[in-house]
Amino acid sequence: MKVVVCGAGLVGMNIANYLVRAGHDVTVIDQRADLARKLGESLDIKAIAGHASHPDVLHDAGAEDADMLIAVTHADEVNMVACQVSHSLFDVPTKIARVRQQAYLAPRWADLFRADHLPIDVIISPEFEVARTIARRLEVPGAIEVIPFADDRVRLIALRCDDDCPMLDTPLRQLGFLFPELLMTTVGIVRDGQFFVPGGDDQMLAGDEVYFVVGTNRLERAMSAFGYEEPAPERVVIVGGGNVGRYLVELLHKSRPELPVKVIEWREQRAETLAAEHPWINVLLGDAREDELLLEANVRAAGAVICVTDDDEVNIMAALLAKRQGCPLAFSLVNHGNYAPLLGPLGIDVAINPRETTVSSVLRHVRRGRIRAVQSIVDGAAEVFEAEALSTSPLVGIPIKEARLPSGVVIAAVVRGKQVLTPRGETVVQAGDRVIVAARSAMVKRVEKLFAVRLDYF
């Protein structure tokens, strides 16, 4: 697939990186010549310096032959015009745009992005995706990742094994006998910074980050088996009143209107606007790195502090100071990839990785076959798919143990109507099932082939 990526910032860089690793032909456009050149050299791809919405620049990037255009510059208007030009002049089949301003996304203006108006096939809002990710994690205390699949009948969960985790030092194949009601599938473990797909003889060790898939109605039992039984936070302090903070306030108010929320914001105008738009929250003006302000916010009595400013260092320091004052749960948004592995050892409970949420929202439209949803995990080391099994799939009609799945691929759950099946070797996938599959990145293309639409399907 030939893809043109407009914007070589953090979002564009990570999308381009994932696409290149998946074997796609990628060209990047950015008006900052030095940034475009640096990205082109690091990924060994074609890089164009220029304005992404200009027809001549898109032409030089090969838009007339492109299968997809992904516009993720910092300017919404440039992204939208790039999609319009790509549609009108170059007939690019699929156009994806990042749109950050809420004014464009309001439901009353939904017709704006119709094909005969602004022809954008997919709109992504990284800030909203990050806020939604945080809101889901607050629902499951102890989880460092919560991703729904199959209309939220199934969830992918990641958590860290503490020293007193009941399932430590036990071969995974024996867990079903020790915990017969658990009904979960372990799809990945991160140990000492390295990700691997475990086999039946592997064990969980203290300090591991474990990724597992479980039916949503059995999630509470699974968390209890790992030793996590805390209730959802009763008070929340949010550090940062920008787009992420604002979206999070709205999501929390919608799901739990009784939840007390305080927001710390250092920009006076933004703080005033936030307080006026959301009168149910308490907005404090100041720097969250000051102990006195955290005391005023009473973070010691909060169930969670969520640091989502646009400055990684502020997020990390504020989270650490809140933990020192007694807050039991600290979230920190980190854009810089090198920071994320440091947060756990520092004592920060959850690192929010905006790159994975944004890339995952794009991958579903890149992956071939009957792929309904995709989630990138562990900074691209693996992906978890939700796919529809067609009658022509080699998985259908035979026991899973006979399917000869490649190493590094795990069938994690099978959703049949409203029923969620935890796969065993004897489980038979039927046509129409929604199958949750985890795969190392190197195996992604082979997984796509399992769910590809073949000619004899028609």
Are 116 and 9 members of one domain? yes
Are 165 and 278 members of one domain? no
Number of domains in the chain: 3
Are 358 and 346 members of one domain? no
The reply to whether 171 falls in a domain is yes
Are 190 and 244 members of one domain? no
Going by their DSSP bridges, the two strands 46-49 and 68-71 should be labelled as unpaired
Are 368 and 451 members of one domain? yes
Are 10 and 120 members of one domain? yes
Contacts of 112 (CB under 8 A, 6+ apart): 104, 118
Are 396 and 346 members of one domain? no
Cα(211)–Cα(67) distance, integer angstroms: 33
The reply to whether 147 falls in a domain is no
The reply to whether 148 falls in a domain is no
- Tell me the CATH number at 158: 3.30.70.1450
Cα(153)–Cα(411) distance, integer angstroms: 16
The domain boundary residue, chosen from 310, 336, 352: 352
The domain boundary residue, chosen from 352, 368, 402: 352
Are 158 and 80 members of one domain? no
Percent of the chain with pLDDT over 70: 98
Is a pLDDT exceeding 70 seen at residue 457?
Answer: no
The reply to whether 80 falls in a domain is yes
Is a pLDDT exceeding 60 seen at residue 458?
Answer: no
Structural domain span for residue 338 = 236-352
The reply to whether 162 falls in a domain is yes
Cα(129)–Cα(358) distance, integer angstroms: 7
Provide the pLDDT for residue 456.
42
Are 317 and 381 members of one domain? no
Is residue 453 very low, low, confident or very high in pLDDT (cuts 50, 70, 90)? Answer: low
Are 373 and 390 members of one domain? yes
Q: Which H/E stretch holds residue 48? A: strand 46-49
Cα(304)–Cα(285) distance, integer angstroms: 19
Are 179 and 287 members of one domain? no
* pLDDT, tens digit (0-9, with 9 covering 90-100), for 372-418: 888 888 878 888 989 898 888 888 999 999 988 888 899 999 999 98
* pLDDT, tens digit (0-9, with 9 covering 90-100), for 90-103: 999 999 999 888 78
The domain boundary residue, chosen from 321, 337, 352: 352
More confident residue, 106 or 160: 160
The reply to whether 203 falls in a domain is no
Are 309 and 335 members of one domain? yes
The reply to whether 221 falls in a domain is no
Of residues 40, 7, 1, the one with CA closest to residue 19:
1
* pLDDT, tens digit (0-9, with 9 covering 90-100), for 244-300: 999 999 999 999 999 999 999 999 999 999 999 999 999 999 999 999 999 999 999
- Tell me the CATH number at 22: 3.40.50.720
The reply to whether 229 falls in a domain is no
Is residue 108 very low, low, confident or very high in pLDDT (cuts 50, 70, 90)? Answer: confident
Widest distance between CA atoms in the chain: 69
Q: What is the pTM of this model?
A: 0.84
